[in-house]
Amino acid sequence: MAYVMARIGKGHPASSPGRRARVAGRPGMGLHGRMGYGNGIRLDTDFEDAVARVRAALQEQGFGVLTEIDVRATLKEKLGEDMEPFLILGACNPALAHRALDVDRRIGLLLPCNVVVRAEGAAAVVEALDPQIMVGLTGQAGLAPVADEAGARLGAALAALGGEPVGE
């Protein structure tokens, strides 16, 4: 994956070297002409195995799962709609969350880090929100080191799973 500038302007606290968002596709853009906001991989395994592996990989990087949203079950129950298995895990590294909240209490609006596990045919796709989005959205330069570490830890969790990178 290339390191490219996220949707931020020159002079913005997140525009300095080392404050790059990882996205697939053309420099600065995702595969579908949009700015990247997450990273993902495709695993040659079923959904249930992928969920178990993701939980273990997150735990290895110091993240606990605080929330779990079963999108498939919710849409079936509320709307009668069918879709592939789709789970949103709210992953939190307490030390990183504490550091981020010390910079800006309103950052709680963007916590925890969302990690999606979804079925795609016989495979599973795992995607994590790029924590640099917090820096770009808030303009809080003090969040950059926290986002850097969170991004490195989420990236390590994805890397530990193996698989092939996917774009947006």
One CATH from 3.90.226.10, 3.40.50.720, 1.10.730.10, 3.30.310.70 for 38-166: 3.30.310.70
* 146 to 85, 108, 112, 118: CA distances (angstroms): 31, 14, 13, 27
Q: For residue 81, is it left (φ>0), alpha (ψ between -120 and 50) or beta? A: beta
Tens digits of per-residue pLDDT, 26-61?
Answer: 223 343 334 578 999 999 999 999 999 999 999 999
Domain assignments of the chain as residue spans, ordered by start:
38-166
Q: How far apart are CA 119 and CA 108, in angstroms?
A: 29
pLDDT at residue 156 greater than cutoff 50: yes
Q: Are strands 2-4 and 113-120 parallel, antiparallel or unpaired?
A: unpaired
Using a cut of 0.95, tell me whether the model's pTM lies above it.
no
